[in-house]
Chains A and B, each alone.
Chain A
Amino acid sequence: NAGVTQTPKFQVLKTGQSMTLQCAQDMNHNSMYWYRQDPGMGLRLIYYSASEGTTDKGEVPNGYNVSRLNKREFSLRLESAAPSQTSVYFCASSGRSDLNEQFFGPGTRLTVL
């Protein structure tokens, strides 16, 4: 089992460019999450998907869109990148509704110039 995989690992964009971050999990989990990690601020939830076909906003959704393509895949799109979106992005998944043990991907380091 690969667990949670993310592509790409690194990306540099210019302001205004768009891109999609890909995430896939092979653990048959219902819930998937996108976070951003900034120094000293922990992880902040951008969007999540409690099950296939549903998505909801998290704490910092502005400037992002998501698609839950199927049970395995959950993508994050930046339509018009801004320097404030420079961050490390993590995808995670979980399979239980009570104990929220989340399994994380290795992250995507994004720089917006």
Chain B
Amino acid sequence: GEDVEQSLFLSVREGDSSVINCTYTDSSSTYLYWYKQEPGAGLQLLTYIFSNMDMKQDQRLTVLLNKKDKHLSLRIADTQTGDSAIYFCAETREAAGNKLTFGGGTRVLVKP
């Protein structure tokens, strides 16, 4: 979606941290999400953050939200080969009926 943008590709070594970035345009977003898509499968919700928060941590995942810059990031600590996937940033807005608007996805390749 044109309202949510992500870089296309990220390569990372196993054991390093990965950081996937996302920018969005609408300041009225209520929730922001990270979905993961493994090869040949549908999307699965990884984590989300409410718009009045600036950080959320969940095991190896850290989400940072900078509302001023409309920037969202997902950090994966100790990246594993099983983390190789496409990661989608998404947002919902009340004005849009809480429908999800997705970014184009970032393909993450974890090298051993």
| Contacts from A to B (Cβ < 8 Å) | 4, 33, 40-45, 48, 50, 58-59, 90, 92, 97-102, 104-107
**B95 in the interface (beta carbon within 8 A):** no
Q: B88 in the interface, Cβ–Cβ < 8 Å?
A: yes
B109 at the interface (CB under 8 A from A): no
18 A–B contacts, CB within 8 A, in A order: A4-B42, A33-B99, A40-B8, A41-B104, A42-B1, A42-B102, A42-B103, A43-B100, A44-B1, A45-B99, A98-B31, A100-B98, A100-B100, A101-B48, A102-B43, A104-B44, A107-B40, A107-B42
The size class of the interface chain B forms with chain A is 20 to 34
- Evaluate whether A99 and B42 lie within 8 angstroms (CB atoms) in the complex, with A42-B88, A48-B99 already known: no
Whether A99 contacts B31 by the Cβ 8 Å rule is: yes
Q: Main SS of the interface on chain A?
A: loop
Give the interface of B toward A (CB within 8 A).
1, 4, 8, 30-31, 33, 40-45, 48, 88, 92, 97-100, 102-105
CB–CB B41/A43 < 8 A: no
> Is the CB–CB distance between A102 and B48 below 8 Å?
no
Contact B102 A43 (CB under 8 A): yes
B42 touching A42 by the CB < 8 A rule?
no
Cross-chain contact A102 with B104 (CB below 8 angstroms): no
In the complex, how many angstroms separate the beta carbon of A103 from the nearest chain B beta carbon?
8
